[in-house]
Chain A
Protein backbone atom coordinates (compact mmCIF):
# COMPACT_ATOMS: atom_id res chain seq x y z
CA UNK A 1 0.00 0.00 0.00
CA UNK A 2 1.09 3.56 -0.66
CA UNK A 3 1.57 5.53 2.53
CA UNK A 4 0.78 9.25 2.44
CA UNK A 5 2.69 11.26 5.01
CA UNK A 6 1.02 14.62 5.54
CA UNK A 7 2.48 17.45 7.57
CA UNK A 8 2.02 19.29 9.75
CA UNK A 9 -0.77 17.53 11.65
CA UNK A 10 -1.96 20.89 12.99
CA UNK A 11 -1.26 24.48 12.19
CA UNK A 12 -2.21 27.85 13.61
CA UNK A 13 -1.74 30.94 11.48
CA UNK A 14 -3.00 34.50 11.20
CA UNK A 15 -5.37 35.97 8.69
CA UNK A 16 -3.43 36.95 5.59
CA UNK A 17 -0.59 34.48 6.21
CA UNK A 18 0.74 32.15 3.54
CA UNK A 19 0.27 28.53 4.59
CA UNK A 20 1.71 25.35 3.12
CA UNK A 21 0.76 21.74 3.76
CA UNK A 22 2.77 18.87 2.35
CA UNK A 23 2.06 15.27 1.43
CA UNK A 24 4.74 12.77 0.65
CA UNK A 25 3.94 9.45 -0.99
CA UNK A 26 5.90 6.32 -0.15
CA UNK A 27 6.24 5.64 -3.88
CA UNK A 28 5.58 7.58 -7.03
CA UNK A 29 1.95 8.37 -7.75
CA UNK A 30 2.48 10.48 -10.89
CA UNK A 31 0.06 13.39 -10.37
CA UNK A 32 -2.91 11.38 -9.09
CA UNK A 33 -3.40 13.42 -5.96
CA UNK A 34 -6.34 15.45 -4.71
CA UNK A 35 -6.60 17.94 -1.87
CA UNK A 36 -9.81 18.18 0.15
CA UNK A 37 -11.09 20.60 2.77
CA UNK A 38 -13.39 19.27 5.47
CA UNK A 39 -15.25 21.30 8.06
CA UNK A 40 -16.76 19.68 11.17
CA UNK A 41 -19.89 17.67 10.43
CA UNK A 42 -19.56 18.22 6.68
CA UNK A 43 -18.45 16.17 3.72
CA UNK A 44 -15.03 16.78 2.19
CA UNK A 45 -14.88 19.40 -0.54
CA UNK A 46 -12.49 19.03 -3.47
CA UNK A 47 -10.01 21.89 -3.75
CA UNK A 48 -7.30 20.61 -6.11
CA UNK A 49 -7.32 17.64 -8.48
CA UNK A 50 -4.48 15.97 -10.30
CA UNK A 51 -2.04 17.72 -7.97
CA UNK A 52 -2.26 21.20 -9.43
CA UNK A 53 -5.66 21.87 -10.97
CA UNK A 54 -8.01 24.21 -9.13
CA UNK A 55 -11.53 22.83 -8.90
CA UNK A 56 -14.22 25.09 -10.30
CA UNK A 57 -15.53 27.54 -7.75
CA UNK A 58 -12.58 27.21 -5.37
CA UNK A 59 -10.92 30.53 -4.49
CA UNK A 60 -7.70 31.25 -6.33
CA UNK A 61 -5.78 31.64 -3.04
CA UNK A 62 -5.63 27.82 -3.04
CA UNK A 63 -2.99 26.20 -5.23
CA UNK A 64 -1.28 22.85 -5.51
CA UNK A 65 1.93 21.57 -7.00
CA UNK A 66 4.03 18.48 -7.17
CA UNK A 67 4.43 15.21 -8.97
CA UNK A 68 5.82 11.81 -8.19
CA UNK A 69 6.20 11.66 -4.41
CA UNK A 70 6.13 15.23 -3.10
CA UNK A 71 3.11 17.51 -3.12
CA UNK A 72 2.25 20.88 -1.64
CA UNK A 73 -0.99 22.68 -0.97
CA UNK A 74 -0.61 26.44 -0.54
CA UNK A 75 -3.09 28.98 0.74
CA UNK A 76 -1.66 32.30 -0.34
CA UNK A 77 -3.57 34.58 2.04
CA UNK A 78 -5.39 32.82 4.85
CA UNK A 79 -9.02 33.75 5.45
CA UNK A 80 -11.14 32.99 8.53
CA UNK A 81 -13.35 30.63 6.52
CA UNK A 82 -10.31 28.46 5.74
CA UNK A 83 -10.46 27.01 9.26
CA UNK A 84 -10.86 23.30 8.53
CA UNK A 85 -9.03 20.01 8.25
CA UNK A 86 -7.23 19.36 4.98
CA UNK A 87 -6.53 15.93 3.48
CA UNK A 88 -4.57 14.68 0.52
CA UNK A 89 -5.78 11.59 -1.34
CA UNK A 90 -3.75 9.46 -3.74
CA UNK A 91 -5.72 7.62 -6.39
CA UNK A 92 -2.88 6.29 -8.49
CA UNK A 93 -3.36 2.73 -7.26
CA UNK A 94 -5.53 0.66 -4.95
CA UNK A 95 -6.02 0.90 -2.09
CA UNK A 96 -6.54 4.63 -2.36
CA UNK A 97 -4.99 6.28 0.69
CA UNK A 98 -5.32 9.58 2.50
CA UNK A 99 -2.88 11.62 4.45
CA UNK A 100 -3.56 11.84 8.17
CA UNK A 101 -5.02 15.32 7.84
CA UNK A 102 -3.92 18.83 8.81
CA UNK A 103 -6.10 20.76 11.23
CA UNK A 104 -5.79 24.44 10.38
CA UNK A 105 -6.96 27.14 12.73
CA UNK A 106 -6.83 30.90 12.56
CA UNK A 107 -5.06 32.72 15.41
Chain B
Protein backbone atom coordinates (compact mmCIF):
# COMPACT_ATOMS: atom_id res chain seq x y z
CA UNK B 1 0.00 0.00 0.00
CA UNK B 2 1.35 3.38 -1.00
CA UNK B 3 2.09 5.80 1.82
CA UNK B 4 3.26 9.39 1.82
CA UNK B 5 4.14 11.18 5.04
CA UNK B 6 4.84 14.89 5.13
CA UNK B 7 6.96 16.36 7.89
CA UNK B 8 8.76 19.56 8.76
CA UNK B 9 5.82 21.87 9.29
CA UNK B 10 6.23 24.41 12.07
CA UNK B 11 5.48 27.91 13.35
CA UNK B 12 7.99 30.33 11.84
CA UNK B 13 8.41 34.07 11.61
CA UNK B 14 8.01 35.93 8.31
CA UNK B 15 11.20 35.94 6.28
CA UNK B 16 12.47 32.67 7.71
CA UNK B 17 12.97 29.33 5.96
CA UNK B 18 11.60 25.84 6.37
CA UNK B 19 12.14 22.53 4.59
CA UNK B 20 9.33 20.05 4.21
CA UNK B 21 9.89 16.36 3.53
CA UNK B 22 7.61 13.85 1.84
CA UNK B 23 8.69 10.34 2.78
CA UNK B 24 7.14 7.65 0.62
CA UNK B 25 6.82 3.87 0.57
CA UNK B 26 4.81 1.14 -1.11
CA UNK B 27 5.23 2.23 -4.73
CA UNK B 28 8.04 2.88 -7.23
CA UNK B 29 8.71 6.48 -6.25
CA UNK B 30 11.36 6.98 -8.92
CA UNK B 31 8.84 6.27 -11.69
CA UNK B 32 6.53 9.15 -10.85
CA UNK B 33 6.37 12.91 -10.72
CA UNK B 34 5.64 14.60 -7.42
CA UNK B 35 3.62 17.71 -6.72
CA UNK B 36 3.18 19.80 -3.62
CA UNK B 37 -0.18 21.35 -2.90
CA UNK B 38 -1.39 23.53 -0.08
CA UNK B 39 -4.60 24.60 1.57
CA UNK B 40 -4.86 27.79 3.58
CA UNK B 41 -7.21 27.67 6.58
CA UNK B 42 -10.82 27.51 5.39
CA UNK B 43 -9.79 27.82 1.73
CA UNK B 44 -9.56 25.63 -1.33
CA UNK B 45 -6.69 23.61 -2.69
CA UNK B 46 -3.75 25.19 -4.50
CA UNK B 47 -1.03 23.52 -6.55
CA UNK B 48 2.40 25.02 -5.87
CA UNK B 49 5.21 22.86 -7.23
CA UNK B 50 6.02 19.88 -9.44
CA UNK B 51 9.07 17.75 -10.21
CA UNK B 52 9.24 15.19 -12.99
CA UNK B 53 10.75 11.77 -12.54
CA UNK B 54 14.43 11.42 -13.44
CA UNK B 55 13.71 9.44 -16.66
CA UNK B 56 11.77 12.52 -17.81
CA UNK B 57 14.53 14.92 -16.86
CA UNK B 58 13.62 15.73 -13.26
CA UNK B 59 12.55 19.21 -14.34
CA UNK B 60 10.45 21.47 -12.15
CA UNK B 61 7.52 23.87 -12.32
CA UNK B 62 6.22 26.38 -9.78
CA UNK B 63 3.16 28.47 -9.14
CA UNK B 64 3.74 32.20 -9.51
CA UNK B 65 2.96 32.67 -5.82
CA UNK B 66 6.07 30.70 -4.77
CA UNK B 67 8.42 30.93 -7.74
CA UNK B 68 11.84 32.19 -6.69
CA UNK B 69 11.19 31.42 -3.02
CA UNK B 70 10.40 27.68 -2.98
CA UNK B 71 12.49 24.84 -4.42
CA UNK B 72 11.31 21.30 -4.97
CA UNK B 73 13.76 18.40 -5.12
CA UNK B 74 13.81 14.63 -4.84
CA UNK B 75 16.11 11.88 -3.60
CA UNK B 76 15.07 8.71 -5.37
CA UNK B 77 17.56 6.64 -3.37
CA UNK B 78 15.55 7.49 -0.24
CA UNK B 79 12.12 7.81 -1.91
CA UNK B 80 11.77 11.30 -0.47
CA UNK B 81 10.69 14.60 -1.99
CA UNK B 82 11.50 17.95 -0.45
CA UNK B 83 10.15 21.46 -0.53
CA UNK B 84 12.60 24.14 0.54
CA UNK B 85 10.67 27.25 1.46
CA UNK B 86 12.55 30.54 1.82
CA UNK B 87 11.41 34.09 2.53
CA UNK B 88 8.20 32.83 4.04
CA UNK B 89 5.22 35.17 4.12
CA UNK B 90 2.09 35.14 6.27
CA UNK B 91 0.15 34.17 3.12
CA UNK B 92 2.11 30.89 3.05
CA UNK B 93 0.27 29.70 6.16
CA UNK B 94 -1.42 26.46 5.11
CA UNK B 95 -1.51 22.70 5.33
CA UNK B 96 0.99 21.39 2.78
CA UNK B 97 0.36 18.10 0.99
CA UNK B 98 2.59 16.07 -1.29
CA UNK B 99 1.10 13.84 -3.96
CA UNK B 100 2.42 11.31 -6.42
CA UNK B 101 1.39 8.33 -8.50
CA UNK B 102 0.24 8.07 -12.08
CA UNK B 103 -2.83 10.26 -11.63
CA UNK B 104 -1.96 12.00 -8.34
CA UNK B 105 -3.58 9.06 -6.68
CA UNK B 106 -1.49 9.08 -3.54
CA UNK B 107 -1.56 11.89 -0.99
CA UNK B 108 0.00 12.40 2.38
CA UNK B 109 -1.91 13.53 5.47
CA UNK B 110 -0.46 17.02 5.30
CA UNK B 111 1.81 19.12 7.50
CA UNK B 112 0.88 22.52 8.91
CA UNK B 113 3.04 25.55 8.24
CA UNK B 114 2.19 28.67 10.19
CA UNK B 115 3.97 31.90 9.34
CA UNK B 116 3.43 34.52 12.00
CA UNK B 117 5.36 37.00 14.07
Contact = CB atoms under 8 A, between A and B. Distances in A.
Given A95-B63, A95-B64, A96-B35, A49 B105 contact: yes
Interface string B74-117: 00000000000000000000000100000111011110000000
A89 B109 contact: no
B32 interface: no
A45 B110 CA distance: 13
B45 A44 contact: yes
Given A96-B50, A98-B47, A46 B104 contact: yes
Contact of A95 (B61, B103, B105): B61
Contacts, number: 49
Contacts of A44: 45, 97, 107
A71 interface: no
Interface in B32-73: 35, 44-47, 50, 61, 63-64
Given A43-B97, A44-B97, A98 B44 contact: yes
A95 B46 CA distance: 10
A96 B47 contact: yes
Interface string A73-107: 00000000000000101010011111111000000
A87 B104 contact: no
A43 B5 CA distance: 11
Contacts of B45: 36, 38, 44, 87, 89, 98, 101
Contacts of A34: 103-104
B103 A49 contact: yes
Contacts of B46: 98
A55 B101 CA distance: 12
Interface of B: 35, 44-47, 50, 61, 63-64, 97, 103-105, 107-110
A-B interface, 6 closest residue pairs, ranked by CB to CB distance from nearest: A49-B103, A96-B47, A43-B107, A94-B61, A98-B45, A101-B44
